[in-house]
A = this chain, B = another copy of it.
């Protein structure tokens, strides 16, 4: 090799695009490949949805403040969230782990307790996996499979101009939870005798350590016969996800800051760190809420659901992607929305 291109010059999404740009699907059953929350595979009319995540200690989680049971639970839930984000119902998971000798059987039992708790809650079966030695750190690979009625799966690329932009639940909490736990870890490392001060922060910490996937929203869609025009889950922060839908659907959008749902607990907790709760929502990530678009004519179907907020609408691509702040200013949405807002 004569050239060397650093991976960080492409970024994660650029790298995936680069590595998968020449794929030509060979099997008629491969309905949807790389580039959405999950792949879709046809089985003679019925459709299987498949999604996977690789979680690495020190990169995706810190065992200093993540109980193993919570980690097991979350490892499953984040994958199920991807399946729901396709408007599908998860049915099976496959779990592989890489473990070093520092783990005991009892520690793994705790991890699996969380895994099975998530399986039980979401009615999915653990049907396979692999167990490997790791030289360093704990490695978790989860693949989830789900079912969806023929052609009811919802992609990121099919939003239409004029559609309403919606989110489920509330945003930003997991990021503020992370700030608390990182602060307590630092204090603990410096002064092991100081007791952790996390009182009153149960909500934001719970959102980080034990997120739930929005099965209820998918059930609501089914009940109301409402098919979103596009959907994905919010794992990287609202800004980044909105840009995915806009880019994949070739549209612009307007997002209203005042419409972004933020819980009172999150707001109070963010102020303790002197950060803007909106910034946490836009760039924080790990909320595992759903971001979706619906036709304006479906708006009435949402009215009674307090778990869904309309936060903006889709525009022609030339208008770009913008957020209207509470003070009425207009800023471009960027994947680094946090910097923009704080300096704007």
A interface, CB within 8 angstroms of B: 1, 3-10, 12, 15-16, 18-20, 22-23, 25-27, 29-30, 32-34, 38-39, 41, 43-46, 48, 50-60, 91-92, 94, 96-99, 101, 103-110, 112, 116, 119-120, 123-137, 139, 141, 143, 145, 147
Given A15-B105, A52-B143, A56-B135, 17 more A-B residue pairs with CB atoms under 8 Å apart are A1-B104, A1-B110, A3-B106, A6-B101, A7-B99, A7-B103, A12-B131, A16-B129, A23-B116, A26-B119, A32-B127, A41-B127, A43-B48, A50-B92, A50-B143, A54-B97, A59-B98
Q: Which of A38, A92, A97 has the most CB of B within 10 A?
A: A92
Looking at chain A's contact residues, the main secondary structure is: mixed
Are A4 and B104 CB-contacts (below 8 A) given A52-B128, A124-B27? Answer: yes
When the two chains form their complex, are residues A30 and B139 in contact, meaning their CB atoms are under 8 A apart? no
Contact of A1 among B1, B16, B107, B143 (CB under 8 A): B107
Give me 21 A-to-B residue pairs in the complex whose CB atoms sit less than 8 angstroms apart, sorted by A's number: A1-B104, A1-B110, A3-B104, A7-B99, A22-B116, A26-B123, A27-B123, A27-B124, A34-B127, A34-B129, A43-B44, A43-B46, A48-B48, A52-B141, A54-B97, A54-B98, A56-B98, A56-B133, A59-B98, A59-B135, A98-B139
Contact of A139 among B1, B56, B109 (CB under 8 A): B56
Taking CB atoms, residues of chain B closer than 8 Å to A19 are 108-109, 112
Copies of this chain present: 2
CB distance from A30 to the nearest CB of B (A): 4
Are A33 and B127 CB-contacts (below 8 A) given A44-B43, A133-B56? Answer: yes
When the two chains form their complex, are residues B103 and A30 in contact, meaning their CB atoms are under 8 A apart? no
CB distance from A317 to the nearest CB of B (A): 27
Contact of A130 among B54, B92, B105 (CB under 8 A): B54
Q: In the complex, A143→B94 CA distance in Å?
A: 9
When the two chains form their complex, are residues B135 and A6 in contact, meaning their CB atoms are under 8 A apart? no
When the two chains form their complex, are residues B26 and A132 in contact, meaning their CB atoms are under 8 A apart? no
When the two chains form their complex, are residues B41 and A92 in contact, meaning their CB atoms are under 8 A apart? yes
Q: In the complex, A101→B26 CA distance in Å?
A: 33
Are A135 and B137 CB-contacts (below 8 A) given A15-B105, A106-B1? Answer: yes
Taking CB atoms, residues of chain B closer than 8 Å to A103 are 7
When the two chains form their complex, are residues B5 and A105 in contact, meaning their CB atoms are under 8 A apart? yes
When the two chains form their complex, are residues A92 and B5 in contact, meaning their CB atoms are under 8 A apart? no
CB distance from A17 to the nearest CB of B (A): 11
Are A101 and B32 CB-contacts (below 8 A) given A127-B25, A137-B135? Answer: no
Q: In the complex, A227→B240 CA distance in Å?
A: 51
Q: In the complex, A89→B128 CA distance in Å?
A: 18
